[in-house]
Amino acid sequence: MKTQFRKYSSLDSSVKNISNKKKEKLPVNPEASLRTIFDNTSVAYVQVDKEFNIITYNQTAAAGYKRELKSDLVQGKNLIDYLPKERKELARKRHEKVLHGEKINYEINYGNTEENHTFYNVSMFPVYDNLNNMLGLIISSEDITARKKAESEKEKVMADLVERNRDLEQFAHIISHNLRSQVANILGISNLVVSNNSCINNKDHKILMAGLAVSAEKLDFVTKGLNNILEDRRVINMKTAC
């Protein structure tokens, strides 16, 4: 019995040791976890007070303002001071709307050429404490350049499809009217000559042959025009592909 008791005592001691080791592990720090997420998200965040002075920001915001506005974010500095002169007044108006409880969303771009334009989707919303007192606001900025470029490419493709559709309609119109009318003339005159060959005198024969020649020339003119249209379109498509 003593031996069995010692076995249970040893087992109980081991369980207590494991429990103590688990208790010794440091608890998760929620604030540190949130800060890690805050600094590693692809969205830029800047928190400002009610006077628009910077309280805090994440690393994405720091990099973005440095890249687009050539300035380092500094706590305590007024965020409007970072903006170009032509954008400050609009920023103040948006700021006032948020201070009155509104949430604002808009798109903005930076860059002076189509190639280096950077587009951002910006949101501004108020921040409150536990007693519902407004502390200030948060500005989030998400880089949507890739999406905007994809939309632009889609619009170009759609415009090209519309243009191609117009060309096809024009092509179909030429075929249905110009080509068919000349072919009908040639067929009509040919049938008349063949079916009434013995009854046609020289004068009428010359008139019919002259009409046949005119229709053939017109048909040749339309065919050359179609070839030119197709060749021009082929050259344009090659340049576009390059």
pLDDT at 33 exceeding the cut of 70: no
Q: Using an 8 Å Cβ cutoff, are 71 and 82 in contact?
A: yes
The reported pLDDT for the residue numbered 168 is 73
pLDDT tens-digit map of 115-172: 678 999 999 999 998 899 999 999 999 999 989 888 888 888 888 888 877 877 777 7
pTM of the model as a whole = 0.57
Neighbouring-strand partners of residue 45 = 140
Name the more confident of 133 and 201: 133
The reported pLDDT for the residue numbered 8 is 41
pLDDT at 96 exceeding the cut of 80: yes
Q: How confident is the model at residue 20 (pLDDT cuts 50, 70, 90)?
A: low
Helix (H, G, I), strand (E, B) or coil at 19: helix
Mutual angle of helices 202-241 and 180-195, in 10-degree steps: 150
pLDDT at 236 exceeding the cut of 70: no
Name the more confident of 179 and 1: 179
The reported pLDDT for the residue numbered 224 is 77
Domains in the chain (CATH in brackets) are: 11-16+25-143 (3.30.450.20), 150-241 (1.10.287)
Q: How confident is the model at residue 2 (pLDDT cuts 50, 70, 90)?
A: very low
Q: Which residue has the tokens 């021009």?
A: 232
